[in-house]
Amino acid sequence: MTDTPGWASPGSPEPPREDAGTSDTPPPAAATAPPVPPQAGPAPGPYAGAYGQQPPPGWGQQQPGWGQQPPPGPQPGWGGGPQWGAPGWGQPQSPKPGVIPLRPLSVGELLDGAFTTVRRYWRSTVGLSLGVAVAEQALTAGAQWWGYEQPDAIGPAILSVAGYLFAMLLGIIASGLLTMVVSKAILGQRATLGTAWAAARPQLLKLFGLTVVTSLIMTGIGVVAVAPVFLLGISGADDALIALAVLPLLAGLGVMVWVMVQLSMAAPALMLEKQGVFTALSRSRRLVKGAWWRTFGVTLLGQFIAGLIAAVFVLPFTVIGMAALGDDALTPDSEFGLIGTSYPPSLILLLSVGAILASCVTIPLVAAINVLLYVDRRIRREGLDIELARAASTPADEPSPAAAPAAGTAPDQTGPQGS
């Protein structure tokens, strides 16, 4: 069965479903009814208005018969009410099978869809984020406690690096699984950890490769930007010349931001479209083209909101810990030294609890905003909303419309399908 129906990129047909059958016999042609000739309505009689009053526009013209649709465009005298397709009364609403309406999204709808996903599927989103946060904070807290007990040991630094790499590994896995959770939430389907793992597992190795390639690109840009300042510094150049070399550094930072936004949709494209690493990078650049500033602004706004949420969770624990330490925590000569990793165990524990609680909300929120940005760009550029509406209307345990038997065949009488 196709894991992500409706997400195939243009030009790449969606893989066939396993339950579609492999029979070589072509399906029978659909039974079509003979066309019914249109029936004209009765001829209008004489106008019976008041004396001297002119008949309304269109009087005397033949009106469409019963059951026949009126011709397109405004029709004077037809029905006397608002016309089909006019704004206001009778305007069809966009389908909303899941957390977002299937149409181009505003910034508010993007954020609302992200928060709705985290709230509605909290067992999956919070469960994933909790596992990542606990593992990361456990290693970080261990390194900080070790540094407090043995300030001169090299072990805390090694443990900190190992914790960072392990947290990055878990973050990649969580990102892939959360992408699948959000894609299910858009279609209004159950988003459990089991279904997310089954859908994401074939692409996780490619997601690791994508992370490595993206990191190498960012590192290369950073090295080129820092190289002039570094070379001038070790060569003993004048301070004015070194200060002038800061300009390439600022330009390099701008290039890094530009490239990061260009490649920001590569991970959703890789996971949902089943693409390769470099194909996903190309897809991201094409999707962001023409909407760089919007993508940058929404991403920055999402990061800002996530930072505020993290501060709300972390700040109370920090205040409690500093109050428990007393004045020693605020003096520059304190042995604890709040600048660095030499925290007392009580403060380490409090900060870790606050960071875990914050990560349970911020990790899935940022991931959901990124996926919804990708979906919005595909709706605007490729009409993805039509495919998603079709996928949402097809139950997960039934064949897709392309694989269903043609009209006119006898339905299966074996009983209802299990949900």
What was the pLDDT predicted at 185? 93
Residue 227: pLDDT band with limits 50, 70, 90: confident
pLDDT at residue 52 is higher than 60: no
What band does 22 get if pLDDT is binned at 50, 70 and 90?
Answer: very low
pLDDT tens-place string over residues 234-256: 777 677 777 777 888 889 999 99
**What mean pLDDT comes out for the span 11-16?**
50
165 vs 405, more confident: 165
Residue 163: predicted pLDDT: 78
Residue 23's pLDDT is what? 41
Instruction: Count CB atoms within 10 A of the CB of residue 201.
Output: 14
Q: Is the pLDDT of residue 16 over 50?
A: no
Q: Which residues contact 51 (CB under 8 A, 6 or more apart)?
A: none
Write down the pLDDT at residue 258. Answer: 96
* Residue 283 in tokens: 């897809």
Q: Is the pLDDT confidence value at 39 over 80?
A: no
Q: Answer whether 218's CB lies under 8 Å from 260's CB.
A: yes
- Look at 414 and 377; give whichever has higher pLDDT: 377
Percent of the chain residues topping a pLDDT of 70:
68
Kindly state the tokens that stand for 185: 């939430």
| Residue 14: band (very low, low, confident or very high) from pLDDT cuts 50, 70, 90 | very low
Task: Cite the beta strand spans of 213-335 per DSSP E.
Answer: none
Mean of pLDDT values over 63-76 = 50
Whether the predicted pLDDT of 20 surpasses 80: no
Give pLDDT, residue 329: 52
**Domain ranges within the chain, ordered by starting residue:** 107-393
Banded model confidence at residue 1, pLDDT cuts 50, 70, 90: very low
pLDDT at position 219 over 90: yes
pLDDT of 376 reads 96
Query: Within 150-245, where are the H helices?
Result: 155-186, 193-200, 204-234, 239-244
Q: How far apart are CA 204 and CA 216, in angstroms?
A: 18
In the chain, the N- to C-terminal Cα span, in Å, equals 15
pLDDT for 148? 74
- In this predicted structure, what is the pLDDT of residue 8? 77
CB atoms within 10 A of CB 367: 28
DSSP annotation of 20: G
When the pLDDT of each residue in the chain is averaged and rounded to a whole number, the result is 75
What is the model's pLDDT at position 72? Answer: 55
* Per-residue model confidence (pLDDT) at position 321: 77
> Which pLDDT belongs to residue 194?
87
pTM given for the model: 0.71
Dihedral sign for Cα 168, 174, 180, 182, please.
negative
pLDDT digits (tens, 9 = 90+) for 128-178: 899 888 888 888 888 878 777 777 778 777 877 887 888 888 889 999 999
For 325-349, write each residue's pLDDT tens digit: 665 554 444 444 434 445 677 788 8
Most confident of 277-291, 349-363, 387-401: 277-291
Token output for 349: 């524990």
Rounded to whole angstroms, the Cα distance separating 7 from 178 reads 16
Which range (27-31, 370-374, 384-388) has the least confidence?
27-31
Please state, in angstroms and rounded to a whole number, the distance separating the CA atoms of residues 138 and 349.
10
| Interior angle at CA 91, CA 89 and CA 95, nearest 5 | 140
- 80 pLDDT band, cuts 50/70/90, is very low
Cα separation, 160 vs 145, in Å, equals 11
Q: What is the predicted pLDDT for the residue at 93?
A: 78
Which pLDDT does position 90 carry in this prediction?
Answer: 46
pLDDT, tens digit, 9 for 90 and up, residues 295-330: 999 999 999 999 999 999 999 988 887 777 665 554
